Amino acid sequence: MKNTNDNYISSILHQWMTQAQINNYGELSSLAGVSLLQFYRLKNGLLDSTPLGILKKIADGLNISVHTLIDDLSENKNLSSSDIEQIESNLKWEYQQEAISILESLILQLPTFTHAVENNSNLPASKLIPLLEPLKELLSQWDIETIGNVGEIVSYNPQEHELMDNNNNLDKIETQSVKIRYVGYRHQDKLLYRAKVCSVLEP
């Protein structure tokens, strides 16, 4: 667990972002024109080794003076254990959401790619499958669950499924079976992406 001062720094940064209507470190990074690494350095007590030019950019992004940023982040104020726990939870969630956003294309395509390769072991790409296991393990550790399996036939659920084919008969769609082409995802019970499905012709 981070020490009390580090959590105080995180709390102050979040207060400034809230005041500036900035949602996360990714948005602040883009607005200030500095890398995300700089914010992790600040949160880990490396204010003194952060170049003044970087601090000024961050202050400008937060719409505060660089003197305020330096003075406030240099203070050592205590937070309650519940405050620390909440801050760490928020930071963990925010980090995971930013990582998911960066990896979006990969995690959406991965199950379909894996399914295709596993059903055709002659494809050269079959050698890549073991290399993707660490990503699957990471998603599992973050409590990211898939919605359905590629090729699975299930009942259509508009809350979990996005229909890929052009079928305007919604009443019929809601009662018919669909085949999953691309899995969806939930993150700790929050829907991230709906599974993309195709309607299945009834016999």
For the domain that residue 73 is a member of, what is the CATH number?
1.10.260.40
Residues 82 and 140 in one domain: no
pLDDT at residue 3 is higher than 50: no
Residues 175 and 113 in one domain: yes
Residues 93 and 111 in one domain: no
Q: What is the mean pLDDT of residues 92-121?
A: 82
Residues 108 and 81 in one domain: no
Structure-model confidence comparison of residues 30 and 43, the more confident one: 30
Residues 128 and 176 in one domain: yes
pLDDT at residue 1 is higher than 70: no
Number of structural domains in the chain: 2
Structural domain for 147, as ranges:
104-199
CA distances from 5 to 15, 47, 144 (A): 15, 12, 31
Q: What is the mean pLDDT of residues 76-90?
A: 58
Q: What pLDDT band is residue 6 in, cutting at 50, 70 and 90? A: low
Residues 26 and 61 in one domain: yes
pLDDT at residue 183 is higher than 80: yes
Q: Which of 62, 79, 102 is the last residue of a domain?
A: 102
Residues 10 and 75 in one domain: yes
Q: Is the pTM of this model over 0.85?
A: no
Range with the lowest mean pLDDT among 72-86, 142-156, 170-184? 72-86
Q: What is the mean pLDDT of residues 47-69?
A: 84
Q: What pLDDT band is residue 88 in, cutting at 50, 70 and 90? A: low
Residues 31 and 74 in one domain: yes
Residues 64 and 110 in one domain: no
Residues 130 and 59 in one domain: no
* pLDDT at site 92: 73
Residues 97 and 13 in one domain: yes
